[in-house]
């Protein structure tokens, strides 16, 4: 356990030192698996907390409007879909961990580095610490500084007026300081994690920092495209 806490400290503040130490030791998967699973679990909680803070006022708004049962049922289905996406979004941390290690290994082979998938996977597991910290911070934000916005009363009870009021609410809540901070922290955590991956991979795969950064940047672009696709 002492080695586990030392690895957590070193991956955040001394990644080169940690990579050199793991390169010369036997593979230990327990630490990275624990961090990745905890990161996935916290992301699920984070996504659900964000959805609750945004959707609960809408539920109350629709209920107070006495809208037809079909609209309430449709919104309940929408919330169920969001909950499912929150679950899959958190679980996706696990396959992306393996994919990231695979991408770095492929680039190492292409750029005349050394194939060392197991070590990269182990170190990338530890490099999820910024994402774990990010998820914890966002959960705290949703608990103590949640985004709030008013839903303006619809001009009438027809579907078009209600949709317009909810669209204005969505735009307003996305512009709150809390949601802007969440977005900034998200990019910061991803960049920090990718930087740790690039540094560690450069050590265990015998690549220059430039080549390793290029490989990590390619993987980061893949993550960004996938995130933008599902955020549409």
Grouping H, G, I as helix, E, B as strand and the rest as coil, residue 82 is helix
Confirm if 8 and 129 have CB atoms less than 8 A apart. Answer: yes
Angle at 138 between CA 222 and CA 41, to 5 degrees: 70
Q: What is the pLDDT of residue 232?
A: 59
Q: What is the pLDDT of residue 72?
A: 75
How many angstroms separate the CA atoms of 223 and 213, rounded?
15
Q: What are the helix and strand counts (H, E) for the chain?
A: 10, 0
Q: What is the pLDDT of residue 83?
A: 87
Confirm if 105 and 89 have CB atoms less than 8 A apart. Answer: no
Q: What is the pLDDT of residue 157?
A: 60
Supply the pTM of this predicted model: 0.91
Q: Domains in the chain: how many in total?
A: 1
How many angstroms separate the CA atoms of 213 and 219, rounded?
10
Q: Which domain holds residue 66?
A: 2-230
How many angstroms separate the CA atoms of 115 and 105, rounded?
6
How many angstroms separate the CA atoms of 227 and 150, rounded?
28
Grouping H, G, I as helix, E, B as strand and the rest as coil, residue 224 is helix
Residuewise pLDDT in 10s, the chain (232 residues): 678 899 999 999 999 999 999 888 888 899 999 999 999 999 999 999 999 988 888 888 777 777 777 777 878 888 888 889 889 989 999 999 999 999 999 999 998 888 889 999 999 999 999 999 999 999 999 999 999 888 877 555 667 777 787 888 888 998 999 999 999 999 999 999 999 999 999 999 988 889 999 999 999 998 888 877 766 5
């Amino acid at each position: 356990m002492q080695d586990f806490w030392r690895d957590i400290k070193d991956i955040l503040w001394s990644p080169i030192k940690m990579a050199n130490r793991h390169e010369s030791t036997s593979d230990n998967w327990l630490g990275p698996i624990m961090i990745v699973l905890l990161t996935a679990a916290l992301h699920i909680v984070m996504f659900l907390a964000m959805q609750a803070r945004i959707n609960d006022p809408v539920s109350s708004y629709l209920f107070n409007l006495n809208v037809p049962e079909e609209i309430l049922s449709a919104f309940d289905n929408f919330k169920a879909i969001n909950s499912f996406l929150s679950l899959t979004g958190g679980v996706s941390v696990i396959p992306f961990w393996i994919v990231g290690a695979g991408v770095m290994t492929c680039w190492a082979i292409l750029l005349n580095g050394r194939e060392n998938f197991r070590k990269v996977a182990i170190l990338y597991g530890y490099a999820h610490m910024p994402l774990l910290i990010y998820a914890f911070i966002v959960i705290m934000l949703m608990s103590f500084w949640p985004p709030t916005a008013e839903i303006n009363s619809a001009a009438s009870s027809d579907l078009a007026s209600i949709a317009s009021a909810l669209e204005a609410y969505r735009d307003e809540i996305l512009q709150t300081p809390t949601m802007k901070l969440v977005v900034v922290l998200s990019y910061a955590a991803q960049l920090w994690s990718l930087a740790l991956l690039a540094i560690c991979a450069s050590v265990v795969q015998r690549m220059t920092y430039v080549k390793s950064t290029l490989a990590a940047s390619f993987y980061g672009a893949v993550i960004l495209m996938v995130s933008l696709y599902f955020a549409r």
